[in-house]
Amino acid sequence: MVINTGAGPRSAGAAGDGRIRLLLADDQALVRGALGALLGLEADLEVVGYAADGGEAATRAGELTPDVCLMDIQMPGMDGIAATDAVRAASPQTRVLIVTTFARPGYLRAALEAGASGFVVKDAPPEELADAIRRVHRGHRVVDPALAEASLFEGANPLTERERQVLRRASEGLTAPAIAAEIFLSAGTVRNLLSSAIGKVGAENRTSAARLAFEKGWL
């Protein structure tokens, strides 16, 4: 089930035959193919393009100007959050619907802030996904209800961009000096950022801080 959190009809932007034109962005070919086949069964939906990562999604959106882009979050290179903003810039009339396995409140907030019109999980029934696409195309905002409720209690991401930056690299096993050299900061500044991030997340060390932040969608 999905809930409508906003309204406002959108001017007609579907294909000439009345179908809603879709761009599917997911780094897994099997998922792209399965989604395409599934949505192709709907008489009013038409898949006009595919993208394997965020950068390609933005490029294809600029070329195809689809009505709705279905966007995964975790993709190589440019992730779905950054790609949402890029797609909207390349094709302002395109609505973005996040369709992901990772139902995390932090992701929901970040996606909406980036300009997404909806957020649903991949295990939603096919008819609900198709309905979410139609609602987003009409100008509504559609969000998975359980995720919307969780988002109310989780609060906003407490980490700054710099803290997220060093925590991501720390989670990859990099030392403070290595991180400092990579992002052009002093090792002391990196240690301070890591300490701050650990405190904000409420963890005991950088490893658990990265894990907790990832689970909440803050990274």
Which comes out higher in pLDDT, residue 177 or 157? 177
Confidence check: pLDDT of 118 > 70? yes
More confident residue, 149 or 141: 141
Question: Residue range 62-78: average pLDDT?
Answer: 94
Q: Of 93-97, 130-134, 187-191, which gets the smallest average pLDDT?
A: 187-191
Mean pLDDT of 66-72: 96
Question: Any idea which of 14-18, 57-61, 211-215 has the lowest mean pLDDT?
Answer: 14-18
pLDDT score of 87: 97
Q: Give mean pLDDT, residues 120-139.
A: 90
Q: Grade residue 204 by pLDDT with cuts at 50, 70 and 90.
A: confident
Structure tokens at 192: 């301070």
Confidence band of 143 (pLDDT split at 50, 70, 90) = confident
Q: What is the pLDDT of residue 12?
A: 39
For range 210-216, the mean pLDDT = 79
Give the mean model confidence (pLDDT) for residues 99-111.
Answer: 79
Q: Which residues pair with 126 in a beta bridge?
A: none
Q: How high is the pLDDT of residue 9?
A: 39
Structure token pair of residue 103: 């139902």
| Whole-number pLDDT of residue 10 | 41
Averaged pLDDT of the chain = 85
For residue 7, pLDDT over 50 is answered with: no
Higher pLDDT, residue 63 or 105: 63
Domains of the chain: 3-154 (3.40.50.2300), 161-215 (1.10.10.10)
Share of the chain above pLDDT 90, in %: 46
